Amino acid sequence: MAVGTKDKLAIHGGPKAVTVPLEDRWPQITQREIDAVVALLREGEISIAGGGGVIGEFERRFADWIGVKHGLAQCNGTSTLHSAYFALGVGFGDEVIVPSYTWHATASPILHCGGSPIFCEMDPETLTADPADIEKKITARTKAICVVHIWGNVCNMEGVMAVSEKHGIPVVEDCSHAHGAEWKGRKVGSIGHIGCFSLQGSKPLTGGEAGIMTTNDDDLFDRMVILGHYGRIGNTLVTDRYRAFDGPGLGIKYRAHPLAVAIALVQLDRIEELNAKRAAFVAELDQRLEAIPGIEPIRAYPEAKRGGFYGYRCRYLLAETTGVSRDRFVEALQAEGVPCGSDRYGLLHLQPLFSDLSFDGLGGPWGSPGGDNRRVFPQGSLPITEACYETLISMPMFTEPPAEAAEQIGGAVAKVVAQLESLRG
């Protein structure tokens, strides 16, 4: 079939399908954040050791928003995960079940505790951890389960918590992509035993570099305090169990910077509006893409309400039937003006850090006798996750996009799909 010049793919010299500038008009930092930081600088509040002031205010407000008793602000999201695993008693020889499809910081703190990540399969429709496979991975060494609400999509928390309760294994929720997401009306970070949130600069609720943990458990909260919050232990502990640690605690400094927290506190007032705007964009793009044969938006469970929306992913399912690879399809979309790509996250079970990277000569848990407890997961060991990963395409996420953004992105995808034959060879 002949293709007119107007419809010719841009990669073959035709006009681009995307003609509007794909720029987000939502200001990540407003004058309110600037004023909050300047006010602290004028007051000389550039370090707060006691946990009061803006840090205490943010912890209280964030905990109330999530719907838990305790919030504990920290320097970054990675430290919250380390603190969570520490609080749950992960040590040498212990295993923590985690999805392979996530950022490395979900799993690397397990190594910091001397434990071993045990990788589980995903549900390919939602990209979140599969509760059935989590249960299959449980052994006598399993100390904890960590699930990730990836790209703002909520895990099947009913299934996860059923496994947790059946086997008596606590759950960490990595909520770093999903600020404000919900399962059956409960916000993520309030369902498992500990919630961990990154507030890094690109996150939907940001402090630049910061994090916060949430929990309803007094003992777990106190354990996280003594690990990383010397200077505030005596006035922060809830119970008397760890009073002997008052003073240096365990000597780690994970406390948050007040300037970062001042930014995050303002952002907390804006997150619901951000989520509503991103939800509208995602709903429109989902609708347009699901009408295109061979393109599958990521699904959400009916019980879930997405939030945070840290990224947008869809699946390209035409490689085998058309002979056009995912990467070639992405190349054609990029030529049309869509800032897309293959997924930037690598599967953790195939990365050397979690399999066969040598720790010889290192200190810490890696250099301790019995410190290397990694179990190798070779290629093919997570077939569902590996197959799904090869189909993923990242699309741009917008809070306040141009009015035609979703329409033109969808139009570009439809245009390329209609002419896949021209991309062979």
**What would the pLDDT profile of 392-419 be if each residue is shown by its tens digit?**
999 999 999 999 999 999 999 999 999 9
Residue matched to tokens 């999903």: 178
Given this model, what pLDDT does residue 253 score?
Answer: 96
Share of the chain above pLDDT 70, in %: 97
> SS3 sequence, the chain?
CCCCHHHCCHHHCCCCCCCCCCCCCCCCCCHHHHHHHHHHHHHCCCCCCCCCHHHHHHHHHHHHHHCCCEEEEECCHHHHHHHHHHHCCCCCCCEEEEECCCCHHHCHHHHHCCCEEEEECEECCCCEECHHHHHHCCCCCEEEEEEECHHHCCCCHHHHHHHHHHHCCCEEEECCCCCCCEECCEECCCCCCEEEEECECCCCCCCECCEEEEECCHHHHHHHHHHHECCCHHHHCCCCCCHHHCCCCCCCECCCCHHHHHHHHHHHHHHHHHHHHHHHHHHHHHHHHHCCCCEEECCCCCCEECCCCCCEEEEECCHHHHCCCHHHHHHHHHHCCCCCEECCCCCHHHCHHHCCCCCCCCCHHHHCCCCCCCCCCCCCCCHHHHHHHCCEEEECCCCCCCCCHHHHHHHHHHHHHHCHHHHCC
Q: Is the dihedral of CA 45, 46, 47, 48 positive or negative?
A: positive
Mean local confidence (pLDDT), 36-59: 95
Dihedral, 347, 348, 353, 357 alpha carbons, nearest 10: -60
The sheet carrying 95-99 orders its strands as 70-74, 211-215, 194-198, 171-174, 142-148, 95-99, 116-120
Q: Which CATH architecture has domain 31-267?
A: 3-Layer(aba) Sandwich (3.40)
pLDDT grade for 46, boundaries at 50, 70 and 90 = very high
pLDDT grade for 4, boundaries at 50, 70 and 90 = low
Token pair for 97: 């079940």
Given this model, what pLDDT does residue 347 score?
Answer: 98
pLDDT(294) > 50: yes
Amino acid at 48: I
- Alpha-carbon span 223 to 403, nearest angstrom: 49
Given this model, what pLDDT does residue 1 score?
Answer: 44
Mean local confidence (pLDDT), 136-145: 98
Given this model, what pLDDT does residue 371 score?
Answer: 63
Given this model, what pLDDT does residue 387 score?
Answer: 98
- Alpha-carbon span 302 to 325, nearest angstrom: 32
**Contact between 210 and 261 (Cβ < 8 Å):** yes
pLDDT(102) > 50: yes
pLDDT(20) > 90: yes
pLDDT(3) > 80: no
- Enumerate residues 6+ apart whose C-beta is below 8 A from 13: none
Token pair for 169: 């294994």
pTM of the shown model? 0.96
Condensed to tens digits (0 to 9), the pLDDT of residues 188-228 reads 999 999 999 999 999 999 999 999 999 999 999 999 999 99
3: number of Cβ within 10 Å: 13
Condensed to tens digits (0 to 9), the pLDDT of residues 348-392 reads 999 999 998 988 888 888 776 666 778 889 999 999 999 999 999
**Contact between 206 and 263 (Cβ < 8 Å):** yes
Mean local confidence (pLDDT), 57-64: 98
What residues does 182 pair with on adjacent strands?
A: 187, 305
pLDDT grade for 7, boundaries at 50, 70 and 90 = confident
Query: In angstroms, what CA-CA distances link 47 with 12, 88, 258?
Result: 57, 29, 6
Given this model, what pLDDT does residue 309 score?
Answer: 98
- Alpha-carbon span 58 to 68, nearest angstrom: 13
pLDDT(315) > 50: yes
**Interior/surface letters 240-251, b for 16+ CB within 10 angstroms, e for the rest:** eebeebeeebee
Given this model, what pLDDT does residue 279 score?
Answer: 98
Share of the chain above pLDDT 90, in %: 92
Given this model, what pLDDT does residue 362 score?
Answer: 87
Mean local confidence (pLDDT), 108-116: 94
Mean local confidence (pLDDT), 336-357: 95
Mean local confidence (pLDDT), 235-254: 96
pLDDT grade for 345, boundaries at 50, 70 and 90 = very high
pLDDT grade for 5, boundaries at 50, 70 and 90 = low
- Average per-residue pLDDT for the chain: 95
Given this model, what pLDDT does residue 2 score?
Answer: 47
